[in-house]
Chains A and B, each alone.
Chain A
């Protein structure tokens, strides 16, 4: 039994399928292109010196961005110190304590903050930390990245805690375990992988931020010896080299971009690995 317009409907279905497939391919194309381009242009400039040496003076060939690589990790460590505890505890509040009315406002604020352009974060921290401290500093750079992490970590923490079945909370409370112990030892422990995933993804997000660091960490051609000094970071160094006039600077910028992308890719793949295990276990 064939409807009269069977062919026409099949055709429409095929059109929609092809259209969505095309868009799906369009999503991964940029990643492939970016990666191909970076490997092609950056890989040849990657050498031991790149990871171990300071930048050379303008126009000189060679050198590396050891200080910027270290600087990125130092900034991320500071960001984690700010963003992890506040974000995770805030997420715990939203999921486990808050009233639905208050939560609506906190969630709303966090979602707005997640959408605030990063340069605005930079200006705010410039006014809050850089101006009072009379100078750009690693502290300000770590601070701004940490602040940007807070709403991200808070929302993902809340979401993964909400996935913990209520039965575990009830079971623990029915054993006469205090509420805060139930939250820390049962609920958070059950959702720990998800929380770690959220924190890592937030770190990967802010690792590539450039604009807020222009106003805070500033960048540094040398090693920073104190957290109150300006510090180099990979995105900043890439930015400086990319707009520089020399070919060798451009090569270094490509190499830096490749390393930064690989770092973020590594975190993402690590997270996939972490979460895969979780779904294999029966629960």
Chain B
């Protein structure tokens, strides 16, 4: 292992791994307990509790304004960018309290990566530089490591074959779908444990959307994925578990098959069958 690598890994842990009890094989990646999020006086998310299974895809569905994105952003403390936001409750990432006072948001975000609705590759950087930016700006300089990680991440994002000959072209010269997969590769390059996706395909055409969905299914072998989507078919196709949020409350959470075929709540059934939302 190159020297840069050794320095990096301990930083990504909240505590040294050895001091923690080994998580059980089927332990959830994230346990959310009584999570409430407020924007000022506005109570956006109300007492949400759920477990997000490791190495599975969990979809968060619900009508606009139900708190889906807020929930997602609370999972890696991105909501803290909004100055008036604050939370109540507890979120544990493989047992570690991510809101503990000793934990910096930067460390949480290295373990819980994020892909946004609008693809946002850095316009001043090439394709390869975009992939490695998270590593380089966290102190990894070894050219070999960076080259390896570039290829590995682009392969995982199913983009390698399309861009291997133009790694040094500007990232913004790629197509919209390629840019979004580049953003996924960029998030994967820092080797997070969980990948959050906020409507990652909503700005893409159907073909590019299908590629992203295939990719999500592929990625769950190595990652825990939480995806917010407006697209009910997408949730049904790509996810293993589905949570239905409505007006800031968790209405129902279960396997995707159950939510879509035999929901126990009337509101869930109305929503997934398209009667409202």
Contact = CB atoms under 8 A, between A and B. Distances in A.
B122 A171 contact: yes
Nearest to B125: A189
A175 B120 contact: no
Contacts of B111: 176
A200 to B, nearest CB: 19
Nearest to B136: A185
A165 interface: yes
A175 B113 contact: yes
Contacts of B190: 175-176
A176 B172 contact: no
B172 A283 contact: yes
A4 interface: no
The main secondary structure of chain B at its interface with chain A is helix
Contacts of A228: none
A186 B133 CA distance: 10
Contacts of A169: 81
Interface in B113-158: 113-114, 116, 118, 120, 122-124, 133-134, 137-138
B116 A167 contact: yes
Interface residues of B, number: 30
The main secondary structure of chain A at its interface with chain B is helix
Interface string A160-203: 00000101111111111110011001100110100000000000
Given A178-B106, A181-B137, A282-B172, A170 B123 contact: no
B125 to A, nearest CB: 8
Interface in B29-66: none
Interface of B: 12, 76, 78, 81, 105-111, 113-114, 116, 118, 120, 122-124, 133-134, 137-138, 170, 172-173, 183, 186-187, 190
Given A167-B120, A173-B109, A185-B137, 16 more contacts: A169-B81, A170-B114, A170-B116, A171-B120, A172-B122, A174-B113, A175-B109, A175-B186, A176-B107, A176-B110, A176-B111, A177-B134, A178-B106, A189-B124, A190-B124, A192-B124
